[in-house]
């Protein structure tokens, strides 16, 4: 029984959750927290590196880094080959079989990564001048770490904590290398090498963790064993590559139609949004595993409804509070040179609650084997991103890029939610979003009143007001172990 932080309104009755559902919610929360804590700490270190680079390199050179990192995501998606998503599901479904083919799967991914890295480096030196060629070629080397990464095994085993620890260690190592070896614009080509050092550290620690769990990873060529998995992964590979068009078509188009300084400003705003938005992706990875396990017992629908409400309740205050404090955030972290990114940040933050709902629906599709549906939805969304980017960015610049991103995320979420309903999942229940929305509105009013205060004052005040409002409405409780839990 949860202990209320605030009084529950008398007209509301506590309805006990079905036991399989309640247990799965608890396990999902623990797995998500284990991954999310690691991701937040790792991304916190990466964000610190971003802030340092933005100031040390200047908007123009930082724009080169932002464009190279954005382009690298495409061959990285190819190197992953959908195994991060499908592999976790395979491990959850049949751990013994996954243990038998894990080495062959990783070997296949490494071979694809080597080919992608060679192609990217060749194109960089063939088409680009200094310093872009060296930067792009350096990022090409990071693809090898993508192929070797075995985090999907730990997620499928629902033991994500070692992966979180590994990510934090790698991010801290990369940050240390950047602080030591990147001093100014002339050192821009050293940035991807520092990133590579950190990612190889993460890979090594994850491989040690999966070895302790009985997965003996070694080079193994076995097309017959892994061929069916790779074929099933093709729709997810397409989904990943098209999804990247949703994720960073805006950055690419800004790089094409605007100068590097504008790209640097847009990337600064987007770095803050990515810091928050990736939590929705991590939650969806854990949710897909939990829904797969619950499908046989018919409890997956109840878990999905709970997940819709909870991801919204977590994402909304980050979006609203961030928008209220956007000018202060940009000035504090990036400096006056990036002042035009404040309005862009306000617009981009609107995509966070929308995206997390779409990610939850995508997890439901994955759990039902809806890879083809996911591919089609992502294709439509990528086309939307391309059309809107071409229409808005030439005239409106980075503001147009932000508007295109929000509209694309809204379209993607709408199609994903509709597809989940067509597979038999119930539609979202709007009443479950009412309390977080009211608490968020109250929080914004208070945050705006203290916006002139330093961020280290305004942010905790906003968080306290939001949490207190949820507790007063009976939506936030303390478990017997003292940890907070949402009841929305």
Q: Let me know the angle formed at the C-alpha of 73 by 70 and 78, rounded to the nearest 5 degrees.
A: 155
Q: Which of 131, 130, 400 is nearest to 262 (CA)?
A: 400
Q: Flag the least confident range among 276-285, 309-318, 334-343, 360-369.
A: 276-285
Q: Tokens representing 350?
A: 């609107």
Closest CA to 230 of 107, 117, 114: 107
Put the strands of the sheet holding 484-486 in their side by side order.
3-4, 476-478, 484-486
For range 423-432, the mean pLDDT: 87
Q: Check: CB of residue 327 under 8 Å from CB of residue 343.
A: no
Report the alpha-carbon distance of residue 29 to residue 26 in Å, rounded: 5
Give the highest mean pLDDT range of 233-237, 281-285, 438-442.
438-442
| Residue 166, φ and ψ in degrees, nearest 5 | -65, -40
Do the beta carbons of residue 28 and residue 303 sit within 8 Å? yes
* Enclosing domain of residue 425: 3-486
Q: How many domains does the chain have?
A: 1
For residue 398, CA distances in Å to 250, 252, 269, 382 come to 8, 11, 10, 18
Residue 453 has pLDDT above 90, yes or no: no
pLDDT computed for residue 163 by the predictor? 81
pLDDT band at 456 (very low <50, low <70, confident <90, very high): confident
In terms of pTM, does the model score above 0.85?
Answer: no
pLDDT in tens, 145-166: 988 888 877 877 777 778 888 8
What confidence score (pLDDT) does residue 297 get?
Answer: 59
CB 374 within 8 A of CB 366: yes
pLDDT digits (tens, 9 = 90+) for 89-99: 667 666 777 77
Question: How high does pLDDT run on average in the chain?
Answer: 82
From 12-16, 157-161, 269-273, 311-315, the region with the lowest mean pLDDT? 12-16
* Secondary structure of the chain as H, E, C letters: CCEECCCCCCCCCCCCCCHHHHHHHHHHHHHHHHHHHHHHHHHHHHHHHHHHHHHHHHHHHHHHHHHHHHHHHHHHHHHHCCHHHHHHHHHHHCHHHHHHHHHHHHHHHHHHHHHHHHHHHHHHHHHCCCCHHHHHHHHHHCHHHHHHCCHHHHHHCCCCHHHHHHHHHHHHHHHHHHHHHCCCHHHHHHHHHHHHHHHHHHHHHHHHHHHHCCCCCCCCCCHHHHHHHHHHHHHHHHHHHHHHHHHHHHHHHHHHHCCHHHHHHHHHHHHHHHHHHHHHHHHHHHHHHHHHHHHHHCCHHHHHHHHHHHHHHHHHHHHHHHHHCHHHHHHHHHCHHHCCHHHHHHHHHCHHHHHHHHHHHHHHHHHCCCHHHHHHHHHHHHHHHHHHHHHHHHHHCHHHHHHHHHHHHHHHHHHHHHHHHHCCCCCCCHHHHHHHHHHHHHHHHHHHHCCCCCHHHHHHHHHHHHHHHHHHCCCEEECCCCCEEECC
Between CA 382 and CA 464 the distance in angstroms is 38
* Measured distance CA(486)–CA(466) in Å, rounded: 12
pLDDT higher for 28 or 250? Answer: 250
- Determine the Cα–Cα distance for residues 80 and 456; give it in Å rounded to an integer: 38
Look at 184 and 83; give whichever has higher pLDDT. 184
**Parallel, antiparallel, or unpaired for β 476-478 and 484-486?**
antiparallel
What are φ and ψ of residue 376, in 5° steps? -65, -45
Peptide bond into 131 cis (omega under 30): yes
Q: pLDDT tens digits, residue range 207-223?
A: 888 888 878 888 878 78
Q: Averaged over 239-255, what is the pLDDT? A: 76
User: Given pLDDT bands bounded at 50, 70 and 90, which one contains residue 139?
Assistant: very high
Which of 4-8, 28-32, 139-143, 322-326 shows the lowest mean pLDDT across its residues?
A: 4-8
Mean pLDDT confidence for 463-474? 90
- pLDDT of residue 398 exceeding 80, the answer is yes
Q: What is the mean pLDDT of residues 128-147?
A: 89
Total residue count of the chain as it appears in this document: 488
Q: What is the pLDDT of residue 31?
A: 55
Q: Which range (81-90, 104-113, 132-141) has the least confidence?
A: 81-90
Q: Give me the pLDDT at residue 8, please.
A: 33
477 backbone dihedrals φ, ψ, rounded to 5°: -130, 165
> What per-residue confidence (pLDDT) applies to 296?
62
Query: Is 90 exceeded by the pLDDT of residue 438?
Result: yes
């Amino acid at each position: 029984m949860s202990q209320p932080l605030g009084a529950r309104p008398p007209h509301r009755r506590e309805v006990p959750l079905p036991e399989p559902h309640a247990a799965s919610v608890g396990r999902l929360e623990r797995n998500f927290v284990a991954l999310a804590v690691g991701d937040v700490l790792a991304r916190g270190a990466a964000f610190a590196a971003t802030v340092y680079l933005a100031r040390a390199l200047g908007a123009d050179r930082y724009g080169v880094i932002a464009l190279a990192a954005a382009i690298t995501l495409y061959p990285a998606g190819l190197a992953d080959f959908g195994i991060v998503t499908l592999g976790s599901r395979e491990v959850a479904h049949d751990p013994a079989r996954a243990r038998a083919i894990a080495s062959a799967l990783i070997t296949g991914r490494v071979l694809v990564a080597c080919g992608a890295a060679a192609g990217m480096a060749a194109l960089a030196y063939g088409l680009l001048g200094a310093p872009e060629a060296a930067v792009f070629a350096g990022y090409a080397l990071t693809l090898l770490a993508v192929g070797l990464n075995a985090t999907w095994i730990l997620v499928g085993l629902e033991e994500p904590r070692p992966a979180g620890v590994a990510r934090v260690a790698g991010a801290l190592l990369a940050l240390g290398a950047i602080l030591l070896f990147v001093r100014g614009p002339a050192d821009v080509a050293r940035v991807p090498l520092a990133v590579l050092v950190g990612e190889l550290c993460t890979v090594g620690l994850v491989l040690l963790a999966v070895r302790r769990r009985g997965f003996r990873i070694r080079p193994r060529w076995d097309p017959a064993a892994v061929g069916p998995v790779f074929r099933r992964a093709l729709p997810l590979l397409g989904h990943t590559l098209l999804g990247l068009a949703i994720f960073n078509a805006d950055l690419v188009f800004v790089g094409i139609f605007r100068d590097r300084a504008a790209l640097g400003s847009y990337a600064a705003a987007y770095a803050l949004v990515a810091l928050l938005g990736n939590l929705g992706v991590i939650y969806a990875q854990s949710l897909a595993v939990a829904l797969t396990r619950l499908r046989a017992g018919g409890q997956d629908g109840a878990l999905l409804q709970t997940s819709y409400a909870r991801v919204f309740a977590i994402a909304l205050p980050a979006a609203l509070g961030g928008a209220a404090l956007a000018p202060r955030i940009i000035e504090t972290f990036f400096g006056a040179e990036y002042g035009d990114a404040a309005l862009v940040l306000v617009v981009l933050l609107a995509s966070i609650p929308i995206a997390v709902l779409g990610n939850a629906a995508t997890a439901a599709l994955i759990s039902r084997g809806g890879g083809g549906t996911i591919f089609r939805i992502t294709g439509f969304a990528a086309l939307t991103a391309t059309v809107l980017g071409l229409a808005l960015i030439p005239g409106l610049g980075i503001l147009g890029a932000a508007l295109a991103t929000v509209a694309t995320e809204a379209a993607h979420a709408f199609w994903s939610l509709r597809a989940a309903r067509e597979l038999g999942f119930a539609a979202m229940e709007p009443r479950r979003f009412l309390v977080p929305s009211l608490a968020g509105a109250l929080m914004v009013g208070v945050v705006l009143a203290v916006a002139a205060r330093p961020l280290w004052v305004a942010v905790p005040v906003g968080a306290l007001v939001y949490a207190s409002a949820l507790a007063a409405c009976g939506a936030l409780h303390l478990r017997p172990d003292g940890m907070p839990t949402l009841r929305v």
